[in-house]
Amino acid sequence: MKNLIKSLKIISALMIVWFLIHTTFIVVDGMSDQGRKADVALILGSKVNEDGTLSHRLEKRLEKGMELYESHRVKKILVSGGLGKEGFYEADKMKTFLVSKGIPDSLIIVDNFGSNTRLSVANTLKMKDSLRFKSIVVVSQYFHVTRTKKLFKDQGFMNVSSVTPKYFEWRDLYSMIREFPAYYTQ
């Protein structure tokens, strides 16, 4: 029994160390911007409020995507999101926001079926030939981009980088914990 308890303590300690190392990696990777150019920016969706306005988190993602376009780091912007419980297609709302800020309508591609990260990646890759892109930069929160890049790479698309808005919320703590198992199970 003592050996079992000792083994469980060792396993628990290793799991905590693994979690801390992994979380540190996610934060460092997520906050890093190598300044790469890409053919397309993929901006992942987030909550649209009940009144149809964008959550601050989503607005900040879109502003970061606009910065990429305005600094000539990307040629087109792909917005991806699903139908939220509030009754709005996130990607449609995202496009409306970008157009209202001066991004040309013709340079924005809408994916209204990216209800989760896996679907956004799959849908983006389905458009690869028609959009003729060879590189992509993912725009999302810092804790989310590492897993998103991994999903692209798991599908054989290696020319993917990421940027993140400098926007933080208390719920990021929960999100970082959630990303640990999600990274290994998706």
8-state DSSP, 74: E
60 within 8 A of 54, measured Cβ to Cβ: no
Q: How far apart are CA 184 and CA 186, in angstroms?
A: 6
pLDDT of residue 42: 98
Neighbours of 48 (CB within 10 A): 25
Q: How far apart are CA 169 and CA 74, in angstroms?
A: 27
pLDDT of residue 5: 83
pTM of the model: 0.90
Distance separating the N- and C-terminal Cα atoms of the chain: 36
116 within 8 A of 186, measured Cβ to Cβ: no
69 within 8 A of 77, measured Cβ to Cβ: yes
Residues of the chain with pLDDT under 50: none
pLDDT of residue 159: 94
Q: How far apart are CA 135 and CA 157, in angstroms?
A: 9
